[in-house]
Each structure stands twice: as C-alpha cells, then as structure tokens.
Structure 1
Amino acid sequence: MELHVLEHPLIEHKLTVLRDKNTPSNTFRELVSELVMLEAYEATRNLDIEDRQIETPVAPMVGKKLCSPRPMVVPVLRAGLGMLDGMTRLLPTAEVGFLGMKRDESTLDIVTYANRLPEDLSGRQCFLLDPMLATGGTLVAATHYLAERGAKDVTAINILAAPEGLERLKQDVDPSINLKVVVCAVDQKLNEHAYIVPGLGDAGDRLYGVID
C-alpha cells in the first residue's frame, strides 16, 4: 500500500471549515467537492497516457492523451456520492460505477447491498471514493470486490483516515493489488463507536441529512 497525505494551505483551510460542526450542509458539500478536486490532481498523477498527433494553429506536434480503457470512478454509497462531482470535474472522460456498502453498527461488519460495475475490470485504473477511512473494513471489501473483477490498479481517495484503518489495509489487502491511498489528513484514532477522532462526524449525514 502506498499512502499520500496531502499538505497544502488550501487543504488545511478547507478541511478546518469542513470539520466545524456549525458548517451547514450546503457549504459542507461544496467543500467536499473542492477537496476532492485537489486530491484528484495527486491521485491521477500516474494515469496511463499515449502519444497523439495534432496540429496547433502554428505547427504540428505530438501531444498526449489518456489511454483506453477509460479510468473507472467508483463512489461507495452513500457518502461517496458527495465526492463524485469533484472527481468527474477533473476527470470527465472517466466511466462511473457504483458500489453500495455500509457498516453494521452493531457488529461493524461490512454489508454489500448494491453494485453497478462492469464484470471485467482488467486493465482499468480504478478510483474508489469514500470520505472516511475509519476501521478500513469498507475499503478492504471494496478493493477486493474490484480485484475479483480483474482490477489490479486501485486508488482510494478519502478525506480523512484513522491509523487503525490504514494498518488494516496493510494487513488485509491482497499484496498483488497495487493500492494507493490519497487523504487530506490522518487523524488521531478511532473512538469506541469506530468514529474518527477528531474527525468531522458522520460524512453521509452532514452531506445529505440524518436518515432515521
């Protein structure tokens, strides 16, 4: 596993406003989108490209273009949907799949309830979107879910991570998978309810409201 913790004044500023419990949902959504755009710049650094012959208004030249097949962006429902706009603004040619996973709050097990993905992801560069990397269970399950369909190059984009979740990734993700994790910050720990501390609360609820 390769970890990238982004350090930049804009990220630190936006993340502080994001964490504030008094930040309203509309501002929270905008900040998530902006942070993901900044993360996506780093996350897509190693996208596969190939030569492309073009003509500028002045002269012919050989430029670059993204290779086929197109990258696959996979938000983990529901909170990952809040990251999709920022990612597709930077990578508009990507194909989008969806993966529904949730944590059973009593057992902390990961339950998969929906998937909209191609059966064959061989040769695809895949990007998993999920705001919080807490216990790591969802990300481990999602990474293996993609790997079962042939994906070998997976980048997880998370806003925050906990040390416990990162350690679980190192232990539980199949080493044959090229996994890169891009985060804005690694926080202190998980509390007794498996929430990141200091964190920002429940990302899904802060994006879309509380669902009873």
Structure 2
Amino acid sequence: MAFVSGQVWFSRTGTGSAPLRCLQAPQPLVCNAAHEDGAESAKLSRADFVRLVGTFTAGVAVSGIQGHSFRAARAVETNAVAVPDMPSKSLEVEQFEEGTGAQVVAPGSLVSCQYVIRRRNGYFVDQNDGADGADFLFRVGANQAVQGLELALMGRKRGARVRFVLPPELGYVQGVKEKGAPGPIPKRWDHRQNLWKHHLEPLVFEVRVTRVS
C-alpha cells in the first residue's frame, strides 16, 4: 500500500502490520491504496462538501486494509504517526474495517463515533475511545462536527474504522473554546487546552463508527 501527499510518499509492503516508510514523492496529491483484492483511489477538497450536502457521493480515498490494528501504522523510528511534512488541503482517509449494515453515513444522518486524536508527531490530544468514553454524536450537515470528520465518514457503515489526517482548513476553523464550535471538543480542561494550542496544525484522527441512523 502506498499513498502520496505533498512531497512525501508513504509505502507499506505486504498486508501485515509493517511500518510505513517515508520516501520522496514522485508526484503530488495522489492517494492510492492497493492490496490483493484490488485498489481504489480518490480525493476530496472543501468544495466537495457543498456537493455532498445536496447529493451524496462516497468519493473519499479508501484503502480497504482488513484486519489491521486500529492503532497501527506509527513510524517505528520516532513513534509518530506517519503523515506528510506539508499535508495537502485534501482529505486522505485510510479504512481498516468496512463495517456492517445497509445504512451508510449520508447528509442528514445521525452519527455516533469513538475517536482518538493525535498530533502529527504521535503525541496524544484527546479520545473517547474506550469503555468509559461517551460516543461523539452529531448530525451530518448541521455544523455539529468539523467538516473533515463528516467527509471522512461519508459512506461508512456501523463498525467502520478509519484513520485520516485532518487539514486545518477542514478542521477547527471556528475555534475550540467558542460556544457552539463544531466538535469533537474535549470535555477535560487539560485536553481542551492541548487541542486549542494545536488546532491550527494537521491532526491525526482514528475513528470508529458506532451508530448510523
């Protein structure tokens, strides 16, 4: 599996949990995932969200890597999540589990999910992933979740697991401390302060969809 964003090319060999290798990109802004069952590629920009609200399209980049750990693919050398030095403004999504059920996330859907947010160097920011964490609940298109999260989950089923790099332009552009700002917003004060310090940076989200209605 390999994908390219900006000037960095990430490469994985085989279908196990081998780490990503970072190389110079032969070409920019291409997201391509391949495995023994085939390959799919696509990319989304901010403008795509407007079209999605009117007409549902599931064109987010997907790599169907079944059986991978939800927290896999951190760079071994630095214990960091391997993300581009200068991520593009497009959204790149890696899918680890497809999920089940006929219903998928679409404009107007009520979605609940669990998540882990990290900085690009792998440092923890916030999570609700765990038995004690309440699901993050939002309605797609109602300005309750950051645009990047909505786009990343478009077309996903209950039980789907994805990881994506959230560009600042699709993230917390309305702030973190402001009342009514799209989430997820940490409940703990120290986590909220940490997100506020880094909300204008690319953030790495690991998300599991727990309900779609």
TM-score w.r.t. the length of structure 2 is: 0.25
Query: Higher relative contact order by CA 8 Å / sep ≥ 6: 1 or 2?
Result: 1
Higher helix share: 1
TM-score w.r.t. the length of structure 1 is: 0.25
